Structure 1
Amino acid sequence: MSQAGATSKGAARRAQILDAATAILVDEGQGQLTLRSVADRVGIRLSNVQYYFKTRDTLVAALLEHYLNGTLQRLSAPLSVLTLPEVVRRVLDEQCDRPASKFFAELWSLAGHSPQIEAAVRAFYRTYESLVAQQLQASRPDLPPAELAARARVFVMLLEGASLFRAGVAADPDAPSDALLYEVATGLLA
């Protein structure tokens, strides 16, 4: 981030821009996400958006960082006092959000066309996997690092794919599938 977001007013404007970009991705799809469409949605000039984000790719990278930070804030405090099954339930509850699932589906699409966005998506998932591995290591210090990493990756893969179904994007959610998902996800972290 440039010095543009260093002040509280700048941070507020940056957050407005990120919120508008998120809304465009969810409501209209990645094809409609341009710096101009974001400026129009916020009600500011294009040059104001470009002051904070030089390109669409830098904006999308910031969206991923913004999303990850928000998720970590919502989940991190309770993680230290929850059991692993409770953590799994909390993560599963967090991912049932249809707008969030649509947001990621659009980002995955963008990543297929932009090396910068692909790098940001990969960095996001590396961080996610690392956090899962840290949680697992706290309860299973006996596992070798390679197995911790593999379990964390499969857990993330399972939940990310499941999010499209559980949020109603790819299919209607159903209780038997949710119960089995919980059982399998919990088993990965046991």
Structure 2
Amino acid sequence: MTDTGDAGLTLRKLADCAGMRLSNVQYYFNSRDDVLAAMVGRYFEECSANLVHMTDRHQFGTTRERIKFLVSVGLSHGQEVSDMCRAFREIWAISSRNKEIDLRLMDYYSQFSKVVVDFALPDGFDTAARDRLRALLVPYFEGYSITARSLPMPVEDTAEMITDLAVSVTNA
């Protein structure tokens, strides 16, 4: 299946790869789209759990320190073409032709942005500040994961610049 991508996925191929009978696979999945949705859903659950775990492990005193931590993690992640980046690129491609995957992707980004903003901005920040930070950081993380290796600034300088911008939009 890795040779043919999602277009080559069939329930029969899945059954063969899993060493199962087709009827057993069909018991759990009605279509290949159901399989894709389940795979993407599971992947997003793992990504969300990792993000929550990472933010739970780190406590910082100021809003700036929390934002810089998030930005720095995003920058370091974007310096390599990681398995996560490759997986998301494939999911983005599938979402352009599959409404269910697109809905799951949008739901993931909504949850992702909530975790990021809840970590960066403690209680007391208004909805507008939270929305501005969401609108800045989520597209930044995604775009940076694609373009990071081609940008001319050192990572630390970029982290400072994005942190300054993010703090300014929150009025912190």
Query: Is TM-score (shorter-chain normalized) higher than 0.5?
Result: yes
Structure with the larger RCO, 1 or 2 (CA within 8 Å, 6+ apart): 2
Tell me the secondary structure at the aligned position of residue 30 of structure 2: coil
Q: By how many angstroms is 1:93 displaced?
A: 3.9
Greater C-alpha Rg: 2
Counterpart selection for 2:144 from 162, 166, 169: 162
2:120 corresponds to = 136
Alignment of 1:60-75 (within 5 A): 60-75=36-51
**Distance across 2 between alignment mates of 1:90 and 1:101:** 14
**Is contact 1:129–1:149 with CA below 8 Å preserved after alignment?**
no
Counterpart selection for 1:47 from 14, 23, 28: 23
**Distance across 1 between alignment mates of 2:160 and 2:9:** 38
1:163-182 superposed Cα distances (whole Å, 9 cap, x missing partner):
1234xxxxx45673544542
**Distance across 2 between alignment mates of 1:185 and 1:113:** 33
Counterpart selection for 1:113 from 62, 72, 97: 97
User: Taking structure 1 as reference, are residues 28 and 155 closer, same or farther at Cα in structure 2, changes over 3 Å only?
Assistant: farther
User: Taking structure 1 as reference, are residues 118 and 78 closer, same or farther at Cα in structure 2, changes over 3 Å only?
Assistant: closer
**Distance across 1 between alignment mates of 2:72 and 2:87:** 21
- For structure 1, the residue ranges without an aligned partner over 5 or more in a row are 1-20, 167-171
User: Taking structure 1 as reference, are residues 117 and 74 closer, same or farther at Cα in structure 2, changes over 3 Å only?
Assistant: closer
Identity of paired residues, percent?
A: 25
Q: By how many angstroms is 1:189 displaced?
A: 4.2
Counterpart selection for 1:57 from 6, 13, 33: 33
2:63 corresponds to = none
2:170 corresponds to = none
- For structure 2, the residue ranges without an aligned partner over 5 or more in a row are 61-65, 168-172
- The amino acid that maps onto 2:159 is Y
**Distance across 1 between alignment mates of 2:4 and 2:157:** 33
2:159 corresponds to = 182
**Distance across 2 between alignment mates of 1:125 and 1:29:** 23
